[in-house]
Amino acid sequence: MTIAEIANSRILIVGGSSGMGLALAKRLLAVGAEVVIAGRNEEKLQCACAELQSPALCAVTVDITQEGQVADLFKRVGRLDHIVSTAADIEGAYELLPSLDLRAAQKVVESKLYGPLLLAKYGAPLFSTTGSITFTSGIAAYRPLARGAVVAAVNAGLEGLVRALAVELAPIRVNAVSPGWVDTPIWSLVAGDKKEETLGAMAKRLPVGRVGQPEDIADAISFLMGNAFTTGTILHVEGGHRLV
């Protein structure tokens, strides 16, 4: 995608108020895109707007697990060139099976599988033929942790959905980025007060010698948005994690 093309693009980022989504919003605004960030938490969205401070930015509150809200979102947003979703509700999902609450598992499915499905259902009709949809799966589908059965399964399912949608929605392009361990706020839910220790230990294992940063994933998403010959693809951005 050229700078001129980005400058004329209107992009929806679900999960754009923090982490990878916020890094992407910052990158796109810097080159002149019009960006809509969306998420469930109004306070976080307003904090993101205050940080980004751009007249080309707007924020919309939406729960993508609710079909009516998703349909209304696209009525409000109007024309789009690209959709990105980095949203995930994994709170309570990283548990061994005896302690796993089924509702926590259902929230992962709803946010990372049903939500993307609804975004594609209602968002695709707003695209030109050059539009793209990019989701985020994750390394858990390839290197699951002992407490990560639910997240591993949902990430793998999302990647299957990406391939199917790339066929059904063509010529709209549908892809996913599969991040490795990235230093984002979600790790506070996964590792609690052992976040720094956990990420540091992984950094020593990885061939690149560090864990990812949100900007690394923003780079990858930008590539998938801009490369007109890439669809149905899972782009792995994980520092070599699948090799170790």
Domain 3-183+214-236 sits in CATH 3.40.50.720:
yes
pLDDT (average), residues 187-198: 82
Give residue limits of the domains in the chain. 3-183+214-236
The label of the residue with tokens 């994980």 reads 238
pLDDT at 192: 78
pLDDT of residue 1: 55
Residues facing residue 234 across a β-bridge? 176
Query: Which whole number is the average pLDDT over 88-114?
Result: 96
Task: Please write the tens of the pLDDT for every residue from 2-42.
Answer: 555 777 899 999 999 999 999 999 999 999 999 999 999 99
- To the query of whether residue 137 is one of the catalytic residues in this protein, the response is yes
Residue with the two structure tokens 């890094």: 23
| pLDDT band, residue 138 (cuts 50/70/90) | very high
Which one is catalytic: 9, 111, 137, 178? 137
pLDDT at residue 112, as a whole number: 97
**Is residue 142 pLDDT above 80, yes or no?**
yes
Asked if pLDDT for residue 52 goes beyond 80, the answer is yes
- Residues 132-143 have a mean pLDDT of 97
Instruction: Report the percent of the chain where pLDDT is more than 70.
Output: 98
Q: What is the pLDDT of residue 6?
A: 77
| pTM (predicted TM-score) | 0.94
pLDDT tens for 57-97 read 999 999 999 999 999 999 999 899 999 999 999 999 999 99
* Contact (CB, 8 A) for 173 and 228: yes
Burial 138-165 (b: 16+ CB within 10 A, else e): bbbbbbbeeebbbbbbbbbebbebbbeb
